[in-house]
């Protein structure tokens, strides 16, 4: 119940200026503003566990990467994992992303290393909503930033198990083709929902799914409902 309440709060975190105050970020026409919590601002201006350019990456035994620099949202993480206990001893990161991506990854790095470090099993059980809770919320249009961090963490966990020869513990997210004509997968629809598309029409505007293949629309609508419930409650 707590996670659903947090998700609803995040959906409503985009709001109009109140009492003459503008938000931290405003739309070009000035009609909408987005507000960030003090915790988000603190982690943006003072990011924890950032990997500097002169950092020694050779001491880490797990590396994760998601996104693309061409899209402006690449994220890389380095983890030092105790081979015996599988606890995360250190977590470093770099990102080419916005302030929300920086704050989300900074908070994630704190969460997985505090109290002597999460086990990999505990880290896998962590959800983007947990990062959102610790940050005090993010604008709904920035929720995908916490998901990006979550995916980089999972990629690093898979890399650790790959390095120590335990392929049975690797968990991969395989994409499923939804519309062969527009080449849209379930992951494309997931990303569209995370970026704010909440209806079939807005998802189609972003992805072109089903435009020339209306037979796939029932499956698309089902996925939209699934991802809305998964991330926003």
- What amino acid positions are annotated as catalytic residues? 71, 145
Q: Enumerate long-range contacts of 68-71, CB under 8 Å, 24 or more apart.
A: 69/96
**Cα 195 from Cα 137, distance rounded (Å):** 15
Q: Is the dihedral angle over the CA atoms 49, 55, 61, 63 positive or is it negative?
A: positive
Residue 143 near residue 47, CB atoms below 8 Å: no
Which DSSP state fits 120? H
Residue 94 near residue 132, CB atoms below 8 Å: no
């Amino acid at each position: 119940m707590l996670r659903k309440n947090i998700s609803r709060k995040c959906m409503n975190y985009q709001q109009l200026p109140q009492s003459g105050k503008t938000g931290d970020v405003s739309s070009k026409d000035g009609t909408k503003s987005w507000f960030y919590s003090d915790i988000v601002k603190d982690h943006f201006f003072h990011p924890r566990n950032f990997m500097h350019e002169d950092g020694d990456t050779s001491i880490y035994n797990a590396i994760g990467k998601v996104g693309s620099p061409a899209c402006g949202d690449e994220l890389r993480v380095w983890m030092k994992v105790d081979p015996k206990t599988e606890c995360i001893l250190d977590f470093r990161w770099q990102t080419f992303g916005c302030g929300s991506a920086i704050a989300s990854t900074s908070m994630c790095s704190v969460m997985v290393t505090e109290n002597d470090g999460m086990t990999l099993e505990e880290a896998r059980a962590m959800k983007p909503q947990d990062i959102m809770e610790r940050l005090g919320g993010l604008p709904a249009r920035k929720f995908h930033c916490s998901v990006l961090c979550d995916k980089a963490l999972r990629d690093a966990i898979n890399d650790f198990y790959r390095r120590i020869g335990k392929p049975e513990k690797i968990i991969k997210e395989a994409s499923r083709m939804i519309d062969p004509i527009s080449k849209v997968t379930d992951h494309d629809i997931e990303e569209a929902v995370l970026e704010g598309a909440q209806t079939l029409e807005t998802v189609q505007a972003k992805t072109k799914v089903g435009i020339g293949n209306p037979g796939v629309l029932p499956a698309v609508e089902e996925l939209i409902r699934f991802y809305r419930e998964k991330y926003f409650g």
